[in-house]
Amino acid sequence: MNNRSLLIVLGLFVIATTSGQNPISTNAPEQEISTLIDTYSLARTEKDSIRLQAILTDDVDQLVSSGIWRKGKSVALMGMLQSSETNPGARSLNIDQIRFLSKDCAIVDARYRIQNTDGTERNMWSTFIVVYDDSNWKIAAIRNMLPQANNK
């Protein structure tokens, strides 16, 4: 294989392995936050309570698309696991933007998609408030929104 062919194969490999993923940031805090959100999504899909406990603050709160508040880690965790059980499917969160309020607090807006086992899907927005706590980024708040059709 000549050098040109090798470069083409390498380029195709890079494109294939990175398409559909969150863009890689050269900013370390942004990359750490992106990894946090990916970890949350995977933990929800796998119903992994240990992983969820590690990435949530003790006083986390969550407002879900049905309007129910979950306040505190134990209530939020129980609700997340119940929701993942009653609404099975692959979850994906694609970050739209990260806005830092300070060096240790940021707002993360993401498109939230649940591919249901019956083939249907839910497309929502999620906003996360993340904080830098004990040398790790953690989720302090989650707001899930289900967009409604504009009836004008």
The pLDDT, as a whole number, for residue 71 is 96
Cα 107 to Cα 13: distance, rounded to the nearest angstrom: 33
Q: Count Cβ atoms below 10 Å from residue 70 Cβ, excluding itself.
A: 19
| Partners of residue 39 on adjacent β-strands | none
pLDDT at 108 > cutoff 70: yes
26 three-state secondary structure: coil
pLDDT at 152 > cutoff 70: no
pLDDT at 15 > cutoff 50: no
- Distance from the Cα of residue 45 to its chain's centroid: 11
The pLDDT, as a whole number, for residue 26 is 55
**Inter-CA distances, 135 with 31, 113, 131, 132, Å:** 14, 30, 10, 6
The pLDDT, as a whole number, for residue 59 is 96
- Please report the DSSP string for 95-141 in residue order: EEEEEEEETTEEEEEEEEEEEETTS-EEEEEEEEEEEEETTEEEEEE
Counting residues of the chain whose pLDDT is more than 70, the rounded percentage is: 80
CATH fold of 23-145: Nuclear Transport Factor 2; Chain: A, (3.10.450)
- Domain borders along the chain are 23-145
Q: What is the mean pLDDT of the chain?
A: 83
The pLDDT, as a whole number, for residue 24 is 47
In terms of pLDDT, which residue wins out, 106 or 46?
Answer: 106
Cα 60 to Cα 106: distance, rounded to the nearest angstrom: 14
pTM above 0.85, yes or no: no
pLDDT at 57 > cutoff 70: yes
Q: What are 127-150's pLDDT values in tens digits?
A: 999 999 889 999 999 999 988 765
pLDDT at 88 > cutoff 80: no
Residue type, 88: P
Average pLDDT over residues 82-108: 90
* Torsion angles phi and psi, residue 105, rounded to 5: -150, 130
